[in-house]
Amino acid sequence: MKASFFQFLKLGLFLALTSVFWACEEDEIAPPPGLIIDPVVVTIDELNSGQFEGLLVKLEDVQFNEAAGTLFNGTNSNANGSRTLADCNNKTAVVFTATDKEFSNLELPRGNGDLVGIASSFGSTVQLLLRGPEDWADLTGGRCGEIANCPATQNGFATVCSLRNAFLNGASTVPSSSTIQVLVTSDRAGGNVNSRNIIVEDETAGIVVRFAADHAFDAGDVVNINLSGLSFEQFNGLLQVSNVPLANATTAGTETLSPAIITIPQLNSGAFESRLVTLENITYVEAGQNFYGGSGSGTNRNITDGSNTAVVRIGSASAFGDETIPAGPVNLTGNAGIFNGTVQLLPRNAEDVGANGGGGGGEPSLETIANVRALFAAGGGVLSDNNSEVLISQNIKIAGVVISDWTGGNVNGGTQSKRNFVIQDATAGLTIRLSANVSGDFPFALGDAVEILLQGQKLSPFGSQLQIEDIPIDKVSETGTGTLPAPQVISIAQLNTGNFDAQLIRIDGVRFTTTPGTYSGNQTFSLDGTATPLGTCRTNTSTTTNPAPFASTALPTGVVNLTGIAGVNGTTFQIQPRNASDLP
């Protein structure tokens, strides 16, 4: 919101008049009656933009960041006059006080509220200039994050909320006589928490307790901890009591805590820091990947409720890092935290990452390939559209035998960029496309039995041929040697329906229409003695991916039987011999 010309004029007149009044040493002259400047309400971001320079402004719900007892300036140098103002979203601005101000040696107010001042700048730094105590008279409210109606004690123990409020009001150490009785909500067995840390809560709030050495407290333990006089610390923004001797903590039983059910906006507000919470019906953005990305100290995963987003943090030592992220929606449980301004949720174990929501590491059920293929059409997929995708949200797997042969070189994807293979079970076949090229020998050979985890993967067409696209190789497991299916004997007309895609077939009694010639490329054939329908025999001849070794083999001139895998490219249905043994 920009000030009007009239506001500029009023402020200019006010400043001009007050400069004259302040210049008079003997007579106290009051400003003209009726000259009232209403401050422009701005945010910290708007103040920092510089567009309000010279205007009287008001910032709402702000507070000073400095420790209790800090003065506005308190020195004889203007270089020491800058203080940090913040809102509850951690946006900051500079408040400057010169040494000649009468309030220079006063303590900064500790409360939260509205602050008035004149927007100014020094060099490239935007700053707020205060005129007197009336400008900060409203800074009397509870500070950001301060817990209202917090009892100092409960059942003879100090409350966690009283500790958090003490820190927010400037305490650097825990007040005396502060023994807390709390429930451990973190799970050291899950590995997603530091081995020295426990996350605890009572009925009022939660907090991190960091011991001086590794501890042995488990989720559900009730623990009495003497924290008196120990240091508060914000570790990358997360409040904790640090270097607690193990001898200060004793177990007082066990208990079960039900997580607070909250929304993503409530999580992101920071109001539930170190509390155990559950988010219902959320979806992981990176469904189908592993929870831990495989490098660094941890991985941030993103979740959404359809409108809002949040971050889930998975540490490298988490016991469930290798679990597959479910496609959801799921219910997600964990400890609320923060790291350098980013609110995070820290799941404790495999149950938390998909609790009661259809995911989170359960055993996938075996599905037929025919039923998996049917998911594409059921999900609105269109085979003729290469951009069409259908996500597999079910926790399922398929099992089949590899019917393609990379040694024969006639597999879609060429013989250098090895990514594709074809499997078949008793119901249907399907092309599988790996997420990356394979160097060296292709790991899934003709006749291998495999199982493939599908949750979070996508069904999509390439040239109208249905495939599982970009599946990580670690989702495919070789389970032994399978039994190759006998080729299904079909007609050219049946081939051209597309109903036998990715299945091993044989077409009997055909004659090539392009003789003399070789198998290289697309060669048409028909039933002996007829002109139509025509079928197509496809043999890879790409010069960039190496041709199939048998591509230069001469086509037979007589009536033959053709064996291979049924496929399609655009509108052309085709049979692809796997190797030289498939040739007549």
Per-residue pLDDT of the chain (584 residues; tens, 9 = 90+): 444 444 544 455 444 444 433 333 334 444 555 556 799 999 999 999 999 999 999 999 999 988 888 999 999 999 999 999 999 887 999 999 999 999 999 999 999 999 999 999 999 999 999 999 999 999 998 888 888 889 999 999 999 999 999 998 889 999 999 999 999 999 998 999 999 999 999 999 999 999 999 999 999 999 999 999 999 999 998 999 999 999 999 999 999 888 999 999 999 988 899 999 999 889 998 888 889 988 889 999 999 988 899 999 999 999 889 888 887 688 899 999 999 889 999 999 888 987 334 444 457 889 999 999 998 988 788 998 888 888 887 778 999 999 999 888 888 654 445 889 999 999 999 999 998 888 788 899 999 999 999 987 899 999 899 999 989 898 999 999 999 999 999 999 999 999 999 999 999 999 999 888 999 999 999 998 778 899 999 998 765 555 788 999 999 999 999 999 999 999 999 999 999 999 99
CATH number of the domain where residue 248 is located: 2.40.50.200
Kindly give the pairing relationship between strand 82-87 and strand 56-64: antiparallel
Same domain, 401 and 325: no
Same domain, 375 and 462: yes
Is there a domain that residue 376 lies in?
Answer: yes
Same domain, 466 and 503: no
CATH number of the domain where residue 76 is located: 2.40.50
- Quote the CA–CA distance of 336 and 329 in Å, as a whole number: 20
Helices marked H in 379-420 — which ranges?
Answer: none
- Quote the CA–CA distance of 383 and 397 in Å, as a whole number: 22
Domain of residue 294, residue span? 260-354
Greatest distance between any 2 Cα atoms in the chain: 123
Q: State the pLDDT at residue 21.
A: 38
Same domain, 235 and 277: no
* Sign, Cα dihedral of 161, 164, 165, 166: positive
CATH number of the domain where residue 280 is located: 2.40.50.140
The pTM assigned to this predicted structure is 0.53
Same domain, 369 and 477: yes
State phi, psi for 370 to the nearest 5 degrees.
-60, -40
Same domain, 74 and 168: no
For residue 201, the one-letter residue type is: E
Where is the domain boundary, 314, 335, 354?
A: 354
Is there a domain that residue 15 lies in?
Answer: no
Kindly give the pairing relationship between strand 309-315 and strand 342-346: parallel
Q: State the pLDDT at residue 377.
A: 87
Is there a domain that residue 178 lies in?
Answer: yes
Q: What residues have CB less than 8 Å from 100, skipping those under 6 apart?
A: none
Report how far Cα 340 is from the mean position of its chain's Cα atoms: 16
- Quote the CA–CA distance of 361 and 10 in Å, as a whole number: 67
Same domain, 233 and 169: yes
Same domain, 370 and 470: yes
Where is the domain boundary, 456, 481, 506?
A: 481
Is there a domain that residue 420 lies in?
Answer: yes
Same domain, 345 and 272: yes
Same domain, 292 and 238: no
Closest listed residue to residue 282, CA positions, set 204, 334, 230: 334
Overall domain count for the chain: 5
For residue 393, the one-letter residue type is: S
- Quote the CA–CA distance of 575 and 564 in Å, as a whole number: 6
Within a 10 A sphere around the Cβ of 12, how many other Cβ atoms? 11
3 state SS of 475: helix
- Quote the CA–CA distance of 273 and 239 in Å, as a whole number: 9
Report how far Cα 251 is from the mean position of its chain's Cα atoms: 36
- Quote the CA–CA distance of 145 and 252 in Å, as a whole number: 30
Where is the domain boundary, 101, 136, 171?
A: 136
Is there a domain that residue 33 lies in?
Answer: no
Same domain, 124 and 50: yes
Q: State the pLDDT at residue 29.
A: 42
Which residue carries 């006059």 as its tokens? Answer: 81
Same domain, 349 and 379: no
Closest listed residue to residue 168, CA positions, set 273, 260, 257: 273
Which class for 27: exposed (0-12), middle (13-18), buried (19 or more C-beta within 10 A)?
exposed
Is there a domain that residue 4 lies in?
Answer: no
- Quote the CA–CA distance of 538 and 420 in Å, as a whole number: 16
- What DSSP string describes 263-316? -HHHHHTTTTTT-EEEEEEEEETTTTSBSS-SSSSEEEEEEESSS-EEEEEEET
